[in-house]
Amino acid sequence: MARNEFPGWHGTTIIGVKKDGEVVIAGDGQVSLGQTVIKGTARKVRRLSPGGFDVVAGFAGSTADAFTLLERLEAKLEATPGQLARASVELAKDWRTDKYLQKLEAMLIVSDGKDIFVITGAGDVLEPEHDVTAIGSGGNYALAAARGMMDSKRTAEEVARDAMAIAADICVYTNGNLTVEKISA
């Protein structure tokens, strides 16, 4: 099958919500190939502890590519303990300039409980304007839903869970099997 005929992998929605001194990153469990659900219980949110500092990361895109990026991020964090922004920028620079890394197809949401960033292969390290960010197939649905709930009395986890439920109702590449990780500053 030629590369342009490959039906393509879909199916990840990752959301990061920062509210009241807490950050929650949640991800669904669906992986689809074309119109077929391949797996419904994938785990796309992980807790890392490089150098004794906790970081939570969620990824959208190719799993192997995302694990490569998470390993690189861990190495950057070990070199700069407790400096997530610096490690994220260093990873983005490598990702943008390294010929091997340039081929990786994934995106990351990372947080140390204080900051939350989206890291892309285009060399971007983005901090959300409204303390909410989302990536993946259903990311725009989850983002819109969460932004609409940020002024409510819901906790960060409730906002993330409710937004993911809305995304799962709308996006055929998103399901309700969530992995949720919380981290505080």
Q: Active-site residues: which are they?
A: 12
Task: Count other C-beta atoms under 10 Å from residue 127's C-beta.
Answer: 13
Binding residues: 168, 171, 174
Binding residues for Na(+): 168, 171, 174
Helices 156-170, 139-149: axis angle to 10 degrees equals: 140
The DSSP secondary-structure symbol of 98 reads -
Structure tokens at 140: 């725009």
Helices then strands, counting H and E runs in the chain, come out as 4, 12
CA distance 26 to 182: 9
In sequence order, the 6+-apart residues with CB closer than 8 A to the CB of 166 are 141, 142, 145
**Amino acid type, 29:** G
CB 77 within 8 A of CB 56: no
Residues 134 and 126 sit within 8 Å (Cβ to Cβ) = no
